[in-house]
Amino acid sequence: MKQISIAPQLRFRHDGNDLPLDKVLSLLAEVQANGNLQAASQALGQSYRGAWGHVKEVEALMGAPLLTMARGRGAVLTPLAQRLLWGQKRLQARLGPLLETMASELQTELDDLLLQDSDQLRLFASHGLAIAALVDFAGRAGLPIDVSYRGSIEAIAALAKHECEVASFHVPIGALAEPVLDHYGPLLKGKSYRVADVASRRLGLLVARGNPLGIHALADLPRTGARFANRERGSGTRIIFDLLLAREEIDPSAIAGAENIEFTHAAVAAYIASGRADAGLAIEAAASQFGLDFLPILTERYCLMFPETGGESAHLQALLDILQSAEYRQAVHAIPGYSEAATGRIAPLSEAFPSLG
């Protein structure tokens, strides 16, 4: 299958020189993991001399060292190299899902222009590791799927307007379930849908390793002056955050940096891990991915929704078959903070969430 892809890239420009940094960043990441340049160059299939020459070329252009070499200690990344690596991680976490969405949209436009078969299953989804794994499984199975990563409200609104065949949303288990469902109700009134459980996952506060500010609950955010990394309005996580603040009678304006917006759980985690923020609300898997401490608050269901008549679609049925496969359940089980106990369960909306039926 021929597909368009878009990838973010850091470049360095100086005095007419334009140097992409992807190769040296890959090398620096391997040095960080292996502790020396020799092992890093071997891991990337490069000669030691070639790797060393590339590092020195970038250092010369930037005017500062990237590695400190010490006998018996191998190679150590300088603060500049560490900052460049974190910049790359934040770039990928923040822009990766957006660029994937743009690539999917462009692919559809090109297919239409070239009169190629564009019979795709359109999925609007809140970005997460389980849904990313599902999309990956679908791609390897040759299932034509057009993915747009959106907030839960926007995804369900698109489903209601027939702009997609499948939409995702997530709902807390417990007392906050009904207040969250109230946000979805107006979009679903008078419509017949089915719900498929993708996974359950733990949501909580992400803080730096060792929790240096001593944050243990939302009430500690104003007390400590912690800089917060928030999610965009309309996202399921932002809805939950606002409800949690209201329940605990915390004034949002008392939280420093609550206007700092990131569009994925991974982007929130990367922002904290790079030292730009002290805390954020996100899933446990994002904390694990970026080496952060995780303070659990609640568990939520992540679900797919599709019309009652959707079962007539061969593409949708193929996606549901993947969702119910043992291989996919194993993949969900392997994600930190995720549970596959209900993965693949399908029910009418009125049974899955009676208040929406």
Domain CATH code at residue 32: 1.10.10.10
Residues near 43 by Cβ (< 8 Å), separated by ≥ 6?
30, 34
Please indicate, yes or no, whether residues 174 and 46 belong to a single structural domain of this protein: no
Tokens describing residue 142: 């040759």
- How many angstroms separate the CA atoms of 148 and 126, rounded? 9
Please indicate, yes or no, whether residues 290 and 335 belong to a single structural domain of this protein: yes
Interval 5-53: pLDDT, tens: 667 777 777 777 777 788 888 888 888 888 888 888 888 888 888 888 8
For residue 102, name the pLDDT band (cuts at 50, 70, 90).
low
Strand partners, 11: 20
Number of domain units in the chain: 2
Helices 236-247 and 152-160, axial angle in degrees (round to 10): 120
- Rg of the chain in Å (alpha carbons): 22
- How many angstroms separate the CA atoms of 243 and 187, rounded? 20
Please indicate, yes or no, whether residues 225 and 324 belong to a single structural domain of this protein: yes
Task: Give which of 110, 130, 128, 129 is closest to 120, Cα–Cα.
Answer: 110
Tokens describing residue 302: 């992540």
* Helices assigned H by DSSP within the chain: 22-34, 37-43, 48-62, 79-113, 129-140, 152-160, 177-188, 220-224, 236-247, 265-273, 284-289, 314-323, 326-333, 349-352
Q: Of all residues in the chain, what percent carry a pLDDT higher than 90?
A: 50
- Out of 37, 67, 86, a domain closes at 86
- The separation between CA 287 and the C-alpha centre of its own chain, rounded to angstroms, equals 11
Please indicate, yes or no, whether residues 65 and 15 belong to a single structural domain of this protein: yes
- How many angstroms separate the CA atoms of 159 and 191, rounded? 10
Q: How many residues are given for the chain? A: 357
207: pLDDT strictly greater than 90: yes
Domain holding 261: CATH number? 3.40.190.290
- Out of 62, 86, 110, a domain closes at 86
- Out of 37, 66, 86, a domain closes at 86
Please indicate, yes or no, whether residues 33 and 174 belong to a single structural domain of this protein: no
Residues near 161 by Cβ (< 8 Å), separated by ≥ 6?
none
In a domain, 269, yes or no: yes
More confident residue, 82 or 164: 164
Please indicate, yes or no, whether residues 59 and 144 belong to a single structural domain of this protein: no
For residue 137, name the pLDDT band (cuts at 50, 70, 90).
very high
- In three-state secondary structure terms, 207 is strand
pTM: 0.76
- How many angstroms separate the CA atoms of 41 and 26, rounded? 10
Interval 150-188: pLDDT, tens: 888 999 999 999 989 999 999 999 999 999 999 988 888
Question: Residue 313's pLDDT is what?
Answer: 87
In a domain, 91, yes or no: no
4: pLDDT strictly greater than 70: no
Please indicate, yes or no, whether residues 236 and 192 belong to a single structural domain of this protein: yes
Please indicate, yes or no, whether residues 130 and 79 belong to a single structural domain of this protein: no
Give the pairing of strands 228-231 and 279-283: parallel
In a domain, 134, yes or no: yes
Residue-averaged pLDDT of the chain: 87
Please indicate, yes or no, whether residues 286 and 350 belong to a single structural domain of this protein: yes
DSSP 3-state percent helix, strand, coil across the chain (nearest 5): 45, 20, 30
Please indicate, yes or no, whether residues 171 and 267 belong to a single structural domain of this protein: yes
- In three-state secondary structure terms, 3 is coil
Please indicate, yes or no, whether residues 79 and 165 belong to a single structural domain of this protein: no
- In three-state secondary structure terms, 70 is strand
Please indicate, yes or no, whether residues 80 and 145 belong to a single structural domain of this protein: no
In a domain, 5, yes or no: no
In a domain, 232, yes or no: yes
Residues near 247 by Cβ (< 8 Å), separated by ≥ 6?
176
Over range 183-212, report the average pLDDT.
93
Q: Whole domain around residue 68: which residue ranges?
A: 11-86
